[in-house]
Structure 1
């Protein structure tokens, strides 16, 4: 019999898809709203197949996502419920959907990378964000996943950033505004401009209008490899530098140095590798970066080295209680 850690790896394929399907077909929402229910009763309420549902729920019970009582009724485990409830800001359903519908299909390229290398295999493919923003549906799916991954951690990161006294912040590649909104909610004197590709503009406008932020949240369309960054007291990069190689990251940080006011700062918000190579979510997303982008995850020391080479000083790392942390550099 294989050890439990190996079982989790071998059979993880099934639990991920079971979770995705249970969320997609409203099973988790039903159990959260109605309480414990049998597979048969849940299937009848949702007009889905009872036998298939029972098998999916048994997988989710085996990995403790749901719990099964002596009467065969299922309930969503208390510790996982906030992350599986679409009404909760910690909901991860959109991210799981992105993993299953986008990332999984691209992982097959890893076989060819091993044989020929990424550069040769990807030579004829479009750039990463041409693929990610290939149409409105793909753009919406990606931005939804990024919001779900980023908004709750951004609340804590905004506090760790210490933006009291900062008036103008430019959030580079800020997507639909997860960090921008978190910072604006915390610092009433702050104004934020999200700098991103034109495809993102309408999505950010929806965020601004839905949250009543008015002219405190602006959008500047551009390509950060071709265009200069808007001037600011502080420049932030959330989940951006992990998309690119070191040379591109250094180029971006040098642009941030030029855009940043004297005495200003740059914020790098990323998953960070420990010195021993963990944790698992960072290692897994590092593999995802390999097929979906051109980047990788790094240690805090590696980001500090890039910041210093770009001209920033007094670099510090501030770790959050989430899996996304903050590395800060100051412009002398």
Structure 2
């Protein structure tokens, strides 16, 4: 039991901060959606200049911009009408749409899709049912995305934004020296394949995804001057066998599915690999004790909201499932932020 002294030392600050965290989240999401950081790229502007560029109403201009200052996303000199605003370093690098380092695609998708869907988390927890587009249309998330090219492009840009740091880290940290071919299953824009090929001249890479995705991947690969080193192939990973390769990768693919489908994909990866080949799953891997990686745990809640039966998993889970498929050796390599590469060797 708490003593009276211990009770007096407790404060509700962390509870309140977490309960109201959506204030900060929505402020940043709105800033990216409205183009604040792109507008301020390489320059400082007054509040009225930002207001005119973004067509903002008088009432919220300074509260909005100064909140972004307080949150560390903008810099400011002066105050109110005399203020000049500019991007903080991270904002300038990662949230300017005109820079190749832009990760705002994920932020835009979070604003347009995930933010409203998370308002139904209680319903998801009570029913186990998805809370995304399927509630309004009766169609699954992926069916909706692939039916609308602009939504598909937004989704792929979002996944690219959240994943590119992980793919760059994998290309640096994994020893590719004894391999020559890689196939990225569900490769989306082809970013993983491009990053590996750029850093390892011995590697020939293939990005495998559905036909609707191929034009997006080809454009990205060509823009990086990698068309000679990275190819695309059309595949439906539910119905088709995987192309043979020394390394099979999946970036945030396994967590989209229930356990039988996870095991099916793992088995297909095993069958596509030679002896000594490696299967690499890049995910927001939950720590085995399920205490530390809050992002991974909340990503698993996001899978509940998106798909109902889908879920994220631990390294121990991955080892168990891949061992059942026949893999012999396992390791986990930390990547960027809360993500890791879970690796199984045949």
TM-score by length of 2: 0.86
Checking the alignment, whether the CA contact within 8 Å between 1:173 and 1:240 is kept in structure 2 is yes
Deviation at 1:225, TM superposition (A): 1.3
Deviation at 1:290, TM superposition (A): 1.4
Counterpart for residue 270 of structure 2: 257
Counterpart for residue 46 of structure 2: 38
Q: Distance in 1 between matches of 2:22 and 2:128?
A: 25
1:83 aligns with 2:101: no
Secondary structure in 2 matching 1:298: coil
Counterpart for residue 190 of structure 1: 203
Structure 2 unaligned runs (5+)?
1-10
1:51 aligns with 2:65: no
Counterpart for residue 6 of structure 2: none
Structure 1 unaligned runs (5+)?
none
Deviates more, 1:107-116 or 1:154-163: 107-116
1:8 aligns with 2:17: yes
Out of 70, 76, 81, the position equivalent to 1:62 is: 70
Counterpart for residue 38 of structure 2: 29
Q: Distance in 2 between matches of 1:90 and 1:153?
A: 13
Out of 283, 287, 290, the position equivalent to 2:297 is: 283
Checking the alignment, whether the CA contact within 8 Å between 2:165 and 2:336 is kept in structure 1 is no
Q: Distance in 2 between matches of 1:278 and 1:246?
A: 23
Secondary structure in 2 matching 1:24: helix
CA 69–215 in structure 1, closer or farther in 2 if over 3 Å, else same? closer
**What does the per-residue CA deviation read over 1:268-292, in whole Å, with 9 as the maximum and x for residues that have no partner?**
1111122243333323322222122
Length, aligned pairs only = 329
Secondary structure in 2 matching 1:272: coil
Out of 303, 315, 321, the position equivalent to 1:306 is: 321
Counterpart for residue 318 of structure 1: 333
CA 116–289 in structure 1, closer or farther in 2 if over 3 Å, else same? closer
Q: Distance in 1 between matches of 2:131 and 2:207?
A: 34
Deviation at 1:202, TM superposition (A): 0.9
Counterpart for residue 241 of structure 2: 228
Deviation at 1:87, TM superposition (A): 4.3
Deviation at 1:40, TM superposition (A): 2.0
Q: Distance in 2 between matches of 1:117 and 1:239?
A: 21
CA 46–216 in structure 1, closer or farther in 2 if over 3 Å, else same? same
TM-score by length of 1: 0.89
Over aligned residue pairs, what C-alpha RMSD do you find? 2.5
